[in-house]
């Protein structure tokens, strides 16, 4: 009798294992073609078919616009969506737009809803020597994305009247660490250089 129960339990465990394996397989399949790599929600996105203006920035054809997760809207969409829900601008490979005199290829809204701002990703390989400024050189030195705080969340342009502070420059300089004088002074210098586009000779 005891042997019979052991066999039944073994069969049930085997069936449960098969079921779990099947669910994992389905989950993996659902990630194929997911712009987030199958590791997160399949956020809705739109690939521009012509030059358009979003967040007051003109972006070229082929730009990928990613939006917040929305009910019944997943993956690629056939028309542009509400700009209020926009979280990311990814330019076509090799393409950049000028932001503060610096060639940038991606702009991403801050994930933290308590912070109004976005991160800007630069491609310094496309910055010509004659375009270099104190601002661009400070940004290049920190070696990563630039996080800016703004008053108007619908304006992602290089509008110095809208930018209230520099939140971070890569992971090396964070406004969060108020007690670190080195980080604070660097971010202060970067913020002060925002409106002073003085060319470096």
- Residue 23 pLDDT greater than 50, yes or no: no
- Give the model's pLDDT for residue 112: 92
77 CB-contact burial (10 Å; exposed 0-12 / middle 13-18 / buried 19+):
middle
168-190 confidence digits (pLDDT tens): 999 999 999 999 999 999 999 99
Report the distance separating Cα 198 and Cα 201, nearest Å. Answer: 9
- pLDDT tier at 71, thresholds 50, 70, 90: confident
Segment of 6-15, 18-27, 31-40 carrying the highest mean pLDDT: 6-15
| Lowest mean pLDDT across 65-69, 70-74, 75-79, 146-150 | 70-74
- Give the model's pLDDT for residue 72: 81
- pLDDT tier at 73, thresholds 50, 70, 90: confident
91-134 confidence digits (pLDDT tens): 999 999 999 999 999 999 999 989 999 999 999 999 999 999 99
Report the distance separating Cα 145 and Cα 121, nearest Å. Answer: 5
Contact between 83 and 55 (Cβ < 8 Å)? yes
Other beta carbons less than 10 A from residue 199's beta carbon: 12
- Give the model's pLDDT for residue 37: 38
The domain spans of the chain are 1-30, 41-193
- Give the model's pLDDT for residue 75: 92
Report the distance separating Cα 61 and Cα 6, nearest Å. Answer: 64
Other beta carbons less than 10 A from residue 65's beta carbon: 23
């Amino acid at each position: 009798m005891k042997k019979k129960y052991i066999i039944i339990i073994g069969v049930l465990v085997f069936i449960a294992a098969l079921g779990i394996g099947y669910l994992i397989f389905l989950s993996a399949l659902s990630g194929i073609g997911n712009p987030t790599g199958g590791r997160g929600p399949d956020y809705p996105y739109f690939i521009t078919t012509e030059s358009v203006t979003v967040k007051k920035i003109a972006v070229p054809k082929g730009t990928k616009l990613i939006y917040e997760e929305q009910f019944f809207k997943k993956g690629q969409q056939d028309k542009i969506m509400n700009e209020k829900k926009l979280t990311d601008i990814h330019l076509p490979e090799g393409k950049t737009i000028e932001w503060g005199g610096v060639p940038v290829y991606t702009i991403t809204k801050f994930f933290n809803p308590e912070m109004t701002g976005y991160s800007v990703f630069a491609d310094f390989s496309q910055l010509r020597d004659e375009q270099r400024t104190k601002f661009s050189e400070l940004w290049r030195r920190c070696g990563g994305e630039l996080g800016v705080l703004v008053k108007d969340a619908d304006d992602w342009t290089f509008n110095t009247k809208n930018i209230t502070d520099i939140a971070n420059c890569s992971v090396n300089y964070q406004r969060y660490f108020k007690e670190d004088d080195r980080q604070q002074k660097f971010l202060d210098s970067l913020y002060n250089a925002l409106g002073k586009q003085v060319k470096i000779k």
